[in-house]
């Protein structure tokens, strides 16, 4: 079956613009996670959902970052008024069951803020 997909794969934007990153999890997976990975680092947790409910957003850096998963499937991570420090790989993962199951990652969206 299809894995986790993310779009766009690459996004170049100018400082101050808003961007929306999309994640389509594996069909039937309850939990969806967002991570951010800086160059040369491991991924860092941003937020996660069980079904449509956002369970934890403690990793979101500031209020310019938000995420939603309105129908419990596709999720969107939005960054408003982008800054150069937002440049990174944004990764989405999904797991079949909440909390204890293996997370499978999508290919990521490489965001570059000029």
Partner 1 sequence: AQKVTQAQTEISVVEKEDVTLDCVYETRDTTYYLFWYKQPPSGELVFLIRRNSFDEQNEISGRYSWNFQKSTSSFNFTITASQVVDSAVYFCALSLAGGTSYGKLTFGQGTILTVHP
According to DSSP, the β-strands at 10-13 and 109-113 are parallel
Decide: helix, strand or coil at residue 19. strand
Do the Cβ atoms of 105 and 36 come closer than 8 Å? no
Gap between the Cα atoms of 34 and 19, Å rounded: 15
Residues 14-53 as x/- pattern, contact with partner 1 by CB under 8 A: -----------------x-x-x----xxxxxx--x-----
Residues 57-76 as x/- pattern, contact with partner 1 by CB under 8 A: --x-----------------
- Residues in contact with partner 1, total (CB under 8 A)? 27
Interface residues with partner 1 (CB under 8 A) are 31, 33, 35, 40-45, 48, 55-56, 59, 89, 91, 93, 95, 98-100, 102-108
């Amino acid at each position: 079956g299809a894995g986790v997909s993310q779009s766009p794969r690459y996004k170049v934007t100018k400082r101050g613009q808003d961007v929306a990153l999309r994640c389509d999890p594996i069909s039937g997976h309850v939990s969806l996670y967002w991570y951010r990975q800086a160059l040369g680092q491991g991924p860092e947790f941003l937020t996660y959902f069980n079904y449509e409910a956002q369970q934890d957003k403690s990793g979101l850096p500031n209020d310019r970052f938000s995420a939603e998963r309105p129908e419990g499937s596709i999720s969107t991570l939005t960054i408003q008024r982008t800054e150069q420090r937002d440049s990174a790989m944004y990764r989405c993962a999904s797991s079949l069951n909440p909390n204890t199951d293996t997370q499978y990652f999508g290919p990521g969206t490489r965001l570059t803020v000029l």
